Amino acid sequence: MNSIELSEYFSEIYEKKDVPVFKVLIDGKWKGTEDTIDIISPVNQKKIAKISSVGDSDLKTAVDSAHSNKNRIRNMAAIDRIEMMNRVRLAIQEHREEMARVLMLESGKSYKSATGEINAAIERLRLSMADSKKIIGEYIPGDWSSDTSKKIALVIREPVGVVLGISPFNYPVYTTIAKVIPAILSGNSIIIKPPSSNPLAFLMCAEIFRKSGLSNGILQVVTGRGGKTGDYLVSNDKINMISFTGSTEVGKHISQIAGLKKTHLELGGKGTAIVLEDADLDLAAKECVRGSLELAGQRCDAISRVLVVEKVADKFAELVKKHMADYKFGDPTSSDDITIGPVINKEAAERINRMVKDAVDKGAKLVMGGKYKDAYHDPTLLIDVPLRAEIANEETFGPVVTVIKVRNIEDAIMIANESKYGLDSAVFTQDFYPAWEVMKALQVGNVTLNSAPSHGTSYFPFGGVKDSGAGKEGVGYSIEEMTNLKTIILDLSPGHLGKEYTGEFKD
């Protein structure tokens, strides 16, 4: 498949021209715009589609629609929302192969990665019922405090109103759907701005939501030029909460212009794996390669550097080289056996290669790879990388295994914590006590023992500290971000109820 050809089910979301021109979903209707953006496939550098680029008028209509319809979803029975999610799940299952092929072409994903992302979205929808545990409130008896002895309180969760979801290019379907599900389940309307580089597969998802019975105006999907479109939405007073996944730079900009809105920011990372001398080195090498190369390294939770105790570093590097040979690199549309395809565009490949060359110039040893063509960057192994190299400190977001020698566990912890990022890390050891020492000491939101970080359907909470963001996402936890707590206090004394505080035992 080297062009976009959709089934009749999706016929309303685009116009058939020389290349398909995709529309936006505003107020329950698909519409095109005069201004469009070309979608260039990283697989072959060819234009495969155009997307609509919305202006202020369309954005205003989308915001007004979401605002005016927020009570409609709030008043829908929760069980109806759950059952609608199940209809969406079944429809995505039916169109899974078609969506995966589109995702491969627009994103450069391997077949395994593309189908894995669609399957993760299906599983996240299946877990919708598990979100409900975080919507349930609590009862607080007031007689535990002298000033509230005749009162009780109910603490409940209410929808914030209108949620804005902005999603990244690396998981354009899963990350976006993981924003839509908790927003709607908790009774919010939502506006989605998918990535402008590869929004097509999610636009297919939006049509599935529409055809599965989601009322007009509850889900708006707008595409457009990132800065202008995003700034309009982020700063709009009718938006009540922002859920953003993307770069730290953009996340900081959002926090500056959002005002007092609730914000959940899942930003960049410098995932660090620490390999101690007693580790199962073959396991550690295999997992570090997987964590570094999966999705061509374009993951915020990727292993972006490996700190290895110097006594075992040479043996570890040899094992890494062995396991890297298991990965097949190339055009993902040429064979379903390809495991590493291109990065998102040629500019990204150029940036990655500059970091590799900088490391070599500063003393790192290039063991494998190191070259690129168009959007394809060779899987690369760098060892003995000095800490002054850019790739030792900045997010790589590319298929590079970066190995750094350290003297001991103390050095590893110190180097890891000096990072401005604090998203994900891993530690490899067969001894519980050093494992616990590392896991407690690392200043990160997530740390994994004896495995590469991998968050799948976000069944466990996920989120970072420092420059890696604020807030947690995941089954149930995203609900907390997209709701407000309300405390309802009932004074029982007029009904001669409640417990009398006597004060007779007071000191």
SS (H, E, C) 377-417: ECCEEEECCCCCCHHHCCCCCCCEEEEEEECCHHHHHHHHH
Count of other CB atoms within 10 angstroms of residue 276: 24
The rounded distance, in Å, linking the Cα atoms of 264 and 477 is: 11
Residue 346 DSSP class: H
Q: Measured in whole angstroms, how far is the alpha carbon of residue 230 from the centre of its chain?
A: 17
Which residue out of 98, 294, 300, 395 is catalytically annotated? 300
Both structure tokens of 364: 């790192």
Contacts of 378 (CB under 8 A, 6+ apart): 329, 368, 369, 370, 371, 372, 399
325 vs 74, 175, 302, 316, CA distance in Å? 52, 30, 19, 15
Which residue out of 207, 266, 395, 480 is catalytically annotated? 266
- The sign one gets for the Cα dihedral 38, 44, 48, 51 is negative
Both structure tokens of 197: 């580089």
437 catalytically annotated: no
310 catalytically annotated: no
Both structure tokens of 305: 């550097």
Residue 215 DSSP class: P
Beta bridge partners of 406: 309
The rounded distance, in Å, linking the Cα atoms of 403 and 273 is: 9
3-state percent helix, strand, coil for the chain, nearest multiple of 5 = 40, 25, 35
The rounded distance, in Å, linking the Cα atoms of 22 and 217 is: 19
The rounded distance, in Å, linking the Cα atoms of 79 and 82 is: 5
Q: Catalytic amino acids?
A: 266, 300
